[in-house]
Structure 1
């Protein structure tokens, strides 16, 4: 089949039927616009390339399950926004919440600085809503970088209790971040 003359929808339908050539053509057609969209937020071209690759890998893996409600173009741009958000969130997991390196924040697009600040405020609110013991253990783990064993010794509790409390904290924060993800998609993309 000559995909050059096909609509985006026809190409996508061929992808869903398992035709690899259709996927390559879809990638060729949308690679540059998706890359540009990712590069608005992410300054590193290699990261942008990886994010675009992830979009197409996920489409291929889930091709039989995807049920488009909108155009393939809308779907692809939604996917790249999601990949960018996941990448920013993943980077945040490695940054201390209070003592941020200004260079890290400056590595984002300047338009995201305010959003990033709001995200940190939201995260602080969620941490403050944790039960007292859970909040204390989470703080010792993430802010003071203590090991589970050190926390257990300091608070005179078992390592298992520390692990459970950190698990509870992370689960609640993750749920809160998913709500924030919806907020980001609606208001910032």
Structure 2
């Protein structure tokens, strides 16, 4: 696998080299993604989200958003990679990762776990429950809301902060930007503590 060290470097470096410098011939399209996100969709690095057990429509949307420049909050790395993968392979990639067993939750609960649980399940004054869109049985019309349970804690904090600061803006109708901006930094940490340590139901998107 002569391409493996080069692609691992591609994942780890902050400034991304051109992806066409790496020979990916003979690889399945999800194998290219898997070198950063884990070959079974469980990423060993917090900066790259777990994809295993994620809703396939959400994976497809994020891929398209990166490819077309609607999402840019990762320093341009995903935009580069998605341009090197044929658009026709997207459904196969999304289905592959969606059908993998979900990632394990964090082994320890963070210090704000209970506060995060309350926010996620019930919300608070002037702020609805996150579970209304992201809960196991929630499928709101027109919203490709991802499963968040068992996701990397630091990744969750970063995404909430990016939404709040306007660095990420590919959410439908600006819903997440509004919600994240209403959250205090400690509340973002609390939600991440709760979600990271909470089990994700297997293939609950069906």
> What is the TM-score normalised by the length of structure 1?
0.30
Larger RCO of the pair (alpha carbons < 8 Å, separation 6+): 2
* Structure number having the greater helix percentage: 1
Q: What is the TM-score of this pair, normalised by structure 2?
A: 0.28
